[in-house]
Structure 1
Amino acid sequence: MSSKAQQKIDLNDLDLNRIYTFEEFEYINDQLKYHTFEINGQPVNLFELDKNGKLIPMPQATINMEAVVLEIGRQLGNWNIQTGQGGVVTSSQGGFNFHVRGGRMIRAPDVSFTSKNVYRHLTQQQLWTFKGEPFTPMVVIEVSDTIKDSDTNKKKKAFDDLDEKFKFEYFSVGTSVQLGWLIDPKNKGIWIYKLNKEGKVFRRKHVWGSINGGDLLPGFTLDIDLIEKVISQESTPTPTETSESEDESQMKCFKCEETFTDYHSFSKHYEKYHILKL
């Protein structure tokens, strides 16, 4: 993007009703690293791009929402490594082009999983830019307060926007998305999105509890208890509060018999020297 074109964009007063080129969209998002943007007094962390070329502001997440996103990513990432899936887990910093049949529609799910079969066939251009052939993840997860007012239409709730996002964008014709989870940790709500036998999207409400990944994520269960523990403000015993006998105890790796004084060190060792070498 030329410097002359950059000068036409007022970073302090972005016009959200204007149509932006993809190069302008990339430039504006890149500038978020160096500038603080606010819309209606709310800091903006990222912009998405809709199919018409308009910017969609993504407000910064609160500490609890971000903690939940990271915990989901951690659980999914651990499963991906420990079971040798070979896929890739990404956060909302990783965008995808969901408008695969003409035009561009850049979306950044809070957490997503791209399968090994897709990832290993991506070109260098696809890996490092948005200019290659469009591709999308297999699983998308959004974490949000669904009861709050919509950011785009005060007559709607955030749930309505997110529901439409799953049905008409993530699961639009031509994408690779096969599973979607909408998780509201504040109001304890979970919704699961899938395709039926006719290829149409359906939504199912799930009880507030652990979610099984089914055939798409074999052996994976999202542990909601761990998510609640992450955002709980109740204190838990620290290592110094455990008994001296526990501190003195050692555990032995059953693969190589190396010994460890804590479970964290053992789990890191086991993952690095035994799981990743399988």
Structure 2
Amino acid sequence: MSKAQIDLANLDFSCTYSFEEFELINEQLKTRSLEVNGQPVNLFDLDKNGKLVPMPQATHCMEVTVGEIVRQLGNWNIQTRQNGDVKTAQGGFDFSVGGQRTIRAPDVSFTPKAISRQLTELQRWTFQGQPFTPTFVVEVGDSQSSTSAFRELDDKFKREYFAVGTSVQLGWLIDPKNRRIWVYKRNKHGNVYHRERVWEDVEGGDVLPRFTLKMLMIEEAISQESSESSSENEELQIDCPECDTTFSDHYTFMEHYTNEHACKRRRNR
């Protein structure tokens, strides 16, 4: 089916769409805008029945939170040489829920190299290969935006991300507006459970070894305020532990260390 055969202005949400049609619709949304029930939409998921699920655009602070989580997770991925894949909601996964293929795009996800390096070209570039899923997922949202908001998010974790047969081992539901965190895991019997955490740093445990999400950094990203004192903004002298280069600010040092040392180690492995 060609792009011309799919009219974004007249999508029928009661109809079933194929994977090829689903991909064409999302491809068009990269350069076009669409409103569904008064909400701007730039991405669709596909449920187990082949129905389109609109994904409304995130508000400013929610998307800033996603960006900060991706930044911290990406730095950890490089610095600890995980060599895995960090993805945002622009990258969907082909979940198999109840025996039916379902396309879902978590706000943030991590797929370890043991999975990503085994993917075929069909799996990498389309949704038509064998289903595969990440080991870690994050949803960022307002759990109190409506009476059903938390239930809908909770169901997404329990019924889809942690469905039988998926690789997901850890999930975080993060609500920066109301400062709430829920952690999702499987127990020894494979059943999914969640626990609410206080609004403080949360660790990745065995799924994300040595990773800790710093909530203060999320708060600073949202508020655009820095916790650095005036003395910390004075000129510094930072010596690279790997070479003889000296830097006068943290950003340049981190960029140098990542590009010249951490990334080179990854390429040489």
TM over 0.5: yes
Aligned-pair distance for 1:274? 2.1
| Contact map agreement 2:97 2:159 (CA 8 A) in 1 | no
| Contact map agreement 1:100 1:134 (CA 8 A) in 2 | no
Counterparts of 1:42-61 in structure 2 under 5 Å?
Answer: 42-61=39-58
Identify unmatched segments of 5+ residues in structure 1. 150-155
Aligned-pair distance for 1:243? 8.6
2:175 is the counterpart of 1:204: no
Of 8, 12, 19, the residue aligned with 1:11 is 8
Structure 2 match to 1:255: 242
Using the TM superposition, name which of 197-206 and 251-260 deviates more: 251-260
Structure 2 match to 1:273: 260
Distance 2:175 2:144 in 1: 9
Identify unmatched segments of 5+ residues in structure 2. none
- Deviations, residues 226-275 of structure 1 (Å, cap 9, x unaligned): 0001111557779xx7699x33x432212212111211111111122222
CA RMSD of aligned residues (A): 1.9
Of 62, 65, 68, the residue aligned with 1:65 is 62
Structure 2 match to 1:153: none
Structure 2 match to 1:83: 80
| Contact map agreement 1:98 1:175 (CA 8 A) in 2 | yes
Q: Which amino acid letter does the alignment assign opposite residue 182 of structure 2?
A: W
2:219 is the counterpart of 1:219: no
> What is the percent sequence identity of the aligned residues?
59
Change (3 A) 1:191 1:85: same
Aligned-pair distance for 1:94? 0.3
Aligned-pair distance for 1:205? 0.7
Q: Which amino acid letter does the alignment assign opposite residue 160 of structure 1?
A: R
Q: Which amino acid letter does the alignment assign opposite residue 161 of structure 1?
A: E
Change (3 A) 1:235 1:243: closer
Q: Which amino acid letter does the alignment assign opposite residue 201 of structure 1?
A: V
Q: TM-score under structure 1 normalisation? A: 0.90
Aligned-pair distance for 1:72? 0.2
Structure 2 match to 1:152: none
Aligned residues: 265
